[in-house]
């Protein structure tokens, strides 16, 4: 990284990688303070929406030096989009983070239309955003993370063999739930912040039904925001209500599932959600 960015994101390296599906991703790797893989190998925490999230989450790696509440050592790998795709990350994430066959909630479309009427979003941009939801491929992106990116991180950064984590927010939180429900064995803990379970017909509920009484071994920590539920936007109200339903179904049958309600909006909740995940799932 340039000297300027290195000063903002200490101990962070950046590279780009093309998936087997032909998509280009930007990857930020932030190592712990004074990290030496020759003496101590750290597990990886993958953070989604890197173009947006890296600046708010990577600096929290200093929590590993907190004398009051120490966090286990981890290497943060933030995954976003590279090249021309970087400027379109907000819509490309729909393709990668949403489970195949996920319905598009009417309230979600209404929220996009409201953005057009208010002038916050252009019609062309909104149409492109919604178009990415017609062929969603969270399955392909999960394969990229686990079968393509992780082996490279292991090789280049000398990571631990176990203890890895995943954190996503909004549609990233939906991806985190999807990943947990698939039973992926790479991650020992998963954080799902304000997961975008926008419809009662979400694939998450189908996955829950297929799971029956079994539960994945990985810890799952779910957060949502008080001001999503108490605000006047139907899409955020639905997300919190549906997430609460998911939690009820999970906790009523046991399992390593924790949750927290944060005093944030959907936009401001990302960093608080990530910190809640670290404190709950990765504290020493």
**Residue pLDDT, tens place only, 29-76:** 999 988 888 888 999 999 999 999 999 999 999 999 899 988 999 999
Per-residue pLDDT for 230 more than 90?
Answer: yes
Domains and CATH numbers, the chain: 3-101+137-281 (3.40.50.1820)
What residues are paired with 190 via a beta bridge? Answer: 166, 220
- pLDDT number for residue 254: 66
Weakest mean pLDDT among 3-7, 8-12, 102-106, 203-207: 3-7
Strand 44-47 relative to strand 75-81, pairing: parallel
SS3 assignment, position 53: helix
Rounded distance between C-alpha atoms, residue 193 and residue 221, angstroms: 8
- Which H or E run includes 166? strand 164-169
| Cβ-based neighbour number of residue 130 at 10 Å | 16
Distance CA 156, CA 143 (A): 19
pTM of the entire structure?
0.94
Residue 16 Cα distances to 1, 13, 26, 156, 159, angstroms: 12, 11, 5, 14, 19
Strand 75-81 versus strand 164-169 pairing type? unpaired
What is the reported pLDDT for 154? 96
CA separation, residue 82 to residues 89, 153, 275 (Å): 9, 18, 26
Alpha-carbon span 48 to 69, nearest angstrom: 25
* DSSP code, position 147: I
How confident is the model at residue 274, as a pLDDT? Answer: 98
Give the distance from CA 48 to its chain's centroid: 4
- Reported as a single tens digit per residue, the pLDDT across 146-178 is 999 999 999 999 999 999 999 999 999 999 999
Main-chain dihedrals φ then ψ at residue 182, nearest 5 degrees: -75, -15
């Amino acid at each position: 990284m340039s000297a300027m960015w290195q000063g903002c994101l200490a101990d962070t390296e950046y590279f780009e990688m093309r998936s087997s599906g032909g998509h280009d991703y930007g990857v930020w790797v932030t190592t712990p303070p004074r990290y030496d893989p020759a003496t101590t190998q750290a597990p990886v925490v993958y953070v989604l929406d890197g173009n947006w999230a890296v600046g708010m989450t990577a600096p929290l790696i200093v929590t590993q030096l907190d004398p009051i509440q120490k966090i286990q050592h981890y290497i943060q790998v933030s995954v976003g989009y590279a090249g021309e795709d970087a400027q379109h990350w907000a819509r490309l994430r729909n393709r990668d983070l949403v489970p195949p066959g996920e319905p598009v909630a009417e309230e979600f479309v209404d929220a996009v239309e409201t953005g057009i009427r208010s002038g916050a979003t252009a019609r062309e941009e909104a149409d492109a955003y919604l178009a990415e939801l017609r062929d969603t491929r969270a399955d392909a992106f999960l394969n990229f993370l686990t079968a393509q990116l992780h082996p490279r991180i292991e090789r280049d950064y000398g990571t631990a063999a176990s203890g890895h984590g995943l954190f996503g927010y909004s549609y990233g939180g939906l991806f985190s739930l999807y990943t947990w429900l698939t039973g992926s064995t790479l991650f020992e803990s998963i954080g799902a912040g304000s997961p975008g379970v926008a419809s009662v017909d979400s694939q998450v509920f189908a996955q829950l039904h297929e799971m029956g009484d079994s539960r994945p071994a990985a810890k799952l920590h779910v957060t949502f925001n008080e001001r999503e539920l108490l605000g006047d936007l139907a899409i955020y109200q639905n997300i919190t209500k549906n997430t609460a339903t998911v939690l009820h179904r999970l906790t009523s049958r046991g399992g390593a599932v924790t949750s927290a309600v944060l005093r944030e909006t959907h936009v401001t909740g990302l960093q608080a959600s990530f910190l809640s995940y670290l404190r709950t799932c990765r504290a020493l």
